[in-house]
């Protein structure tokens, strides 16, 4: 079965907000379960998103990112295991130091 976290080195979805800011979205193809490989891929993808969001290239490519808040959404309609929220919370704390919010949701609304 393929990992629920695909392409750890690429953005799944990038959306510029109408007013200002940008949303970066990680889409899970299935439940984020407990295997170490799945959690490792999520860690890699989140860290890559954070690095890109804080880099000058993101702000140059997406002017709304320079003008407003950045959020990273982990969208998983299938749920997450006990290990994933711990990792997400740790990286959310790291992201807050750069004024980036990390959120988990079951869908994009």
Q: How far apart are CA 65 and CA 9, in angstroms?
A: 20
Please, which pLDDT band fits residue 1 given cuts at 50, 70 and 90?
low
Question: pLDDT tens across 15-70, in order?
Answer: 988 888 999 999 998 888 766 788 888 999 999 999 999 888 888 888 888 888 99
Structure tokens at 103: 């959120």
Structure tokens at 100: 């980036």
Q: Which CATH architecture has domain 13-105?
A: 3-Layer(aba) Sandwich (3.40)
pTM (predicted TM-score):
0.88
The predicted structure's pLDDT at residue 13: 93
The predicted structure's pLDDT at residue 23: 93
Q: Taking a C-beta distance cutoff of 8 angstroms, is the pair 14, 49 a contact?
A: no
């Amino acid at each position: 079965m393929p990992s629920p976290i695909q392409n750890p080195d690429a953005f799944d979805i990038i959306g510029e907000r109408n007013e200002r800011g940008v949303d970066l979205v990680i889409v899970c193809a299935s439940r984020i379960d407990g295997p170490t490989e799945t959690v490792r891929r999520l860690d890699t993808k989140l860290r890559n998103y954070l690095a890109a969001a804080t880099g000058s290239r993101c702000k140059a490519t997406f002017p709304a990112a320079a003008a407003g808040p950045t959020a990273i959404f982990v969208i998983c309609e299938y749920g997450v295991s006990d290990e994933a929220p711990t990792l997400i919370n740790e990286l959310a704390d790291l992201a807050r130091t750069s004024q980036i919010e990390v959120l988990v949701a079951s869908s994009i609304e």
